[in-house]
């Protein structure tokens, strides 16, 4: 051993570790659920109060890692949505639009601070309801949600400096619909800029992950926001459609699938409602021969297995330059054997539960299509829990551009590996998709990174890293990944008219 170079020694250690089942053994370190006080039943948050739905309907929301019912949640009807929109309208006309911007900012700062104060409880609840590893809700989702409120609170009284020479005006009532992959964070992305710009909101979380949005409603109540400034209605697709179609909504902000985004775009056409769509993706990670390979492998792993691949900008297509393809694939296959899949509340877990049975069926179907089309799967060897929804991290090689797994969004822990010879070929292949949300480029040469980044038709391009988020940086898509930006100064624009 003493005469070996460090890199060779590391390889040997990795090899030995693989012989022992691929994982360092850690004692389990589960986070306690004690800080979370669940109610049996959650009502709608309208006009500053929790009210029973006029529909009289409730549905169970579960923990996808155990299939246990956590609580019953209200299913809002058109009448309930109408009440929420009325309350938002009244709050807009009566208080919020008239409030001094610096006073608006104080409320938003207060929400940010209260999210920080309750961060532990919110992280645990996010993991229980959504299935993502606690490490991620604790280190990413909840801190970033607070950071978004802090950031946009700062803009509330500076809007005229953001757009010099223009006269920024609020729009009115914003109808906001979000998905299940980053429940509280997506709520923050929507609510924080809307409030900072002087609008009031009606927000609908996803049917499978309503609980942190309902806790946010409690925070809004505790922060003493004027009643009706924020309304949160839970339910299914029909509840979302009722928000989109309500004549008194001035702006629609949607994050979710391209399929539903298209329905919403048609519904809003000709109504004068302002629209932003943040939709699906099939993002490319491009690795050049001159990249730092070990870092790149970590980046690929982070890009696709982070949050079980339930990330709109997941690096689900990997393009490797031929000179390093064999090495990268070998290292990837070794690395996936070290991923810990299981209890999302365990602080050692890397890959948690799939969010729903429906999503698991979709992943299973596409992976089968990959195998049927001749692609070769390499999977993490792990025992999946009996209860709950799980999918072992999977890397596919022998993939062609025309295969379904290289074309369609899987939204799960499944990576398709393809190769290229020249930079031109990498760009052409990466852009050959109906989507355009994100991309990653890995190279030792800064000039090459910038050159390639400029040619990629993607809203975000990361250089020698992946899945980095910050409230000051705009995020959004090209083509079928949607339009409009969230985050940064650009994220104010969807919530203002510039006279």
Q: Which residues bind ligand NAP (CB under 6 A)?
A: 177-181, 204, 206-207, 236-237, 240-241, 244, 255-257, 260, 263-264, 278-281, 312, 409, 411, 437, 477, 481-482
Is-catalytic flag, 67?
A: no
| Strands 251-255 and 460-463, bridge-based pairing | unpaired
If the CB atoms of residues 18 and 263 are measured against ligand NAP, the closer one turns out to be: 263
| Strands 438-442 and 284-287, bridge-based pairing | parallel
Q: List Cβ<8 Å contacts ≥24 apart for 257-264.
A: 257/179, 258/409, 258/434, 258/435, 258/480, 258/481, 258/482, 261/482, 264/177
| Cα 8 from Cα 63, distance rounded (Å) | 43
- Whether residue 106 contacts residue 149, with contact meaning beta carbons closer than 8 Å, is answered with no
Tell me how far, at minimum, the Cβ of 279 lies from ligand NAP, in Å.
5
Tell me how far, at minimum, the Cβ of 330 lies from ligand NAP, in Å.
30
If the CB atoms of residues 212 and 255 are measured against ligand NAP, the closer one turns out to be: 255
If the CB atoms of residues 241 and 441 are measured against ligand NAP, the closer one turns out to be: 241
If the CB atoms of residues 119 and 267 are measured against ligand NAP, the closer one turns out to be: 267
Is-catalytic flag, 278?
A: yes
| Cα 206 from Cα 183, distance rounded (Å) | 8
- Whether residue 456 contacts residue 431, with contact meaning beta carbons closer than 8 Å, is answered with yes
Tell me how far, at minimum, the Cβ of 101 lies from ligand NAP, in Å.
28
Residue 417 CB neighbours (<10 A): 24
Residue in the shown chain whose Cβ atom is closest to ligand NAP: 240
List 126, 197, 207, 312, catalytic entry: 312
The dihedral formed by the CA atoms of 397, 400, 402 and 404, expressed in degrees to the nearest 10: -10
| C-alpha angle 44-47-50 in degrees, rounded to nearest 5 | 35
Tell me how far, at minimum, the Cβ of 316 lies from ligand NAP, in Å.
10
If the CB atoms of residues 414 and 426 are measured against ligand NAP, the closer one turns out to be: 414
Which candidate, 292, 286, 262, places its Cα nearest to that of 275?
262
List 278, 409, 480, 486, catalytic entry: 278
Tell me how far, at minimum, the Cβ of 242 lies from ligand NAP, in Å.
8
Give me the active site residues, please. 278, 312
């Amino acid at each position: 051993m003493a005469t070996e170079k460090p890199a060779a020694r590391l390889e040997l250690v990795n090899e030995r570790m693989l012989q022992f089942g691929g994982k360092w053994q850690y004692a389990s370190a589960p986070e306690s659920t004690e800080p979370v006080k669940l109610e049996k039943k959650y009502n709608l948050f309208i006009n500053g109060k929790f009210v029973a739905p006029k529909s009289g309907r409730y549905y169970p929301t579960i923990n996808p890692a155990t299939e246990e019912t956590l609580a019953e949640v209200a299913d809002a009807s058109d009448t309930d949505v109408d009440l929420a929109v009325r309350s938002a309208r009244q709050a807009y006309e009566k208080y919020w639009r008239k409030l001094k911007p610096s006073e608006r900012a104080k409320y938003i700062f207060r929400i940010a601070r209260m999210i920080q104060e309750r961060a532990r409880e919110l992280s645990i609840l996010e993991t229980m309801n959504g299935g993502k590893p606690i490490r991620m809700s604790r280190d990413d989702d909840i801190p970033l949600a607070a950071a978004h409120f802090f950031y946009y609170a700062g803009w509330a009284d500076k809007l005229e400096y953001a757009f010099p020479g223009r006269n920024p005006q609020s729009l009115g009532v914003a109808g906001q619909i979000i998905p299940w992959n980053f429940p509280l964070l997506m709520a923050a992305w929507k609510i924080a800029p809307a409030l900072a710009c002087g609008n009031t909101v009606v927000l609908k979380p996803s049917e499978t992950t309503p609980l942190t949005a309902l806790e946010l409603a409690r925070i809004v109540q505790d922060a003493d926001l004027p009643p009706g400034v924020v309304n949160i209605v839970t339910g299914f697709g029909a509840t979302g459609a009722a928000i989109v179609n309500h004549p008194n909504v001035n702006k629609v902000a949607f994050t979710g699938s391209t399929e539903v985004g298209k329905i919403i775009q048609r519904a809003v056409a000709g109504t004068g409602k302002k629209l932003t769509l943040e939709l699906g993706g099939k993002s490319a990670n491009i690795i050049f021969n001159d990249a730092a390979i070990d870092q790149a492998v970590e980046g690929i792993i982070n890009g696709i297995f982070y949050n079980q691949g339930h990330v709109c900008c997941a690096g689900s297509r990997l393009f490797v330059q031929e000179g390093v393809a064999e090495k990268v694939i070998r290292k990837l296959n070794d690395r996936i054997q070290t991923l810990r899949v299981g209890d999302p509340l365990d602080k050692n877990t890397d890959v948690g539960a799939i969010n729903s049975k429906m999503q698991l069926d979709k992943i299973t179907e596409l992976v089968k299509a990959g195998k049927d089309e001749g692609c070769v799967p390499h999977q993490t060897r792990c025992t999946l829990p009996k209860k709950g929804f799980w999918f072992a991290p999977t890397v596919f090689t022998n993939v062609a551009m025309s295969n379904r797994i290289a074309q369609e969004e899987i939204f799960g822990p499944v990576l398709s590996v393809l190769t290229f010879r020249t930079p031109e070929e990498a760009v052409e292949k990466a852009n050959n998709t109906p989507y355009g949300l994100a991309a990653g480029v890995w190279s030792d040469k800064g000039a090459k990174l910038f050159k390639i980044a400029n040619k990629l038709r993607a809203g975000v391009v990361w250089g020698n890293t992946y899945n980095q988020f910050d409230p000051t940086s705009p995020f959004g898509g090209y083509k079928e990944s949607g339009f409009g930006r969230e985050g940064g100064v650009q994220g104010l624009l969807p919530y203002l008219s510039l006279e």
